[in-house]
Amino acid sequence: DTIAFETMNQRSSRSKTTERVTFGLYPFFLLLFISIVFAMPSIVSGKQYEGIDLDADAQIRIGVKKRIKDCRTKSKKGDRLSIHYVGTLYKDGKEFDSSLERQTPLNFRVGNDEVIAGWDMGLINMCVGEKRKLTIPSRLAYGDVGAPPHIHPGATLVFEVELVDILGPSGEDDDAYDYYSKDHIYSF
């Protein structure tokens, strides 16, 4: 009986030691796993302002910064929108354009190829007063050509936008043409 009891004690002691070692390594491996999971997106795609653009085939990122609780009308394809915006480069955060500086919102027809494709996608279903952050890969912006000298080839663009108004029909086919024919476009 005594020998059997000692043997059980020894077994019990051994499994507790094994449990302690196993449990002691568990937090280490969990921490390692979490570090790898959180590091992978920045390795693969780069984080904003780290000197790397998103892959051209990346999806547009649409973040809502200000929601409107009582929204009765949302923007839809073909609507004339009045938008305030600030455009920056994803790569380094450098601002390249802002309607706020000019104190004049941009008016255009959404979904009518009057602006970059990322805007046509990212400004649908917005409420007046809503603010969004659009992160637009180059294929939905200016592509491999860019818009020199301020927008480099392959640039990922970030826009902070606010829908100022959904305008009534103007009778004009191309509101953006009038806006972009102004002198400020050449001052880039």
Q: What are phi and psi of 92, to 5 degrees?
A: -135, 0
CA 38/CA 40 separation, integer angstroms: 6
3-state SS assignment for residue 91: coil
- Tens-place pLDDT, residues 115-162: 999 999 999 999 999 999 999 999 999 999 999 999 999 999 999 999
From the list 90, 99, 80, 85, the residue with the least C-alpha distance to 161 is 85
Give the side-chain half-sphere CA count within 13 A for 46.
17
How far out from the chain centre does Cα 26 lie?
A: 35
Give whole-number Cα distances, 32 to 38, 47, 143, in Å.
10, 21, 38
Task: Write out the catalytic residue numbers.
Answer: 85, 96-97, 116, 142, 159
User: Which pLDDT belongs to residue 112?
Assistant: 93
CA 97/CA 120 separation, integer angstroms: 18
Stretch 13-21: mean pLDDT, rounded? 54
* Single pTM value for the model: 0.68
Q: Give the range among 21-35, 86-100, 106-120 with minimum mean pLDDT.
A: 21-35
CA 136/CA 138 separation, integer angstroms: 6
Mean pLDDT of the chain: 81
Position 29 confidence tier, pLDDT thresholds 50, 70, 90: low
Q: Give the range among 47-51, 99-103, 162-166 with minimum mean pLDDT.
A: 47-51
User: Which pLDDT belongs to residue 161?
Assistant: 98
- Tens-place pLDDT, residues 54-97: 999 999 999 999 999 999 999 999 999 999 999 999 999 999 99
pLDDT at position 176 over 70: no
pLDDT at position 35 over 70: no
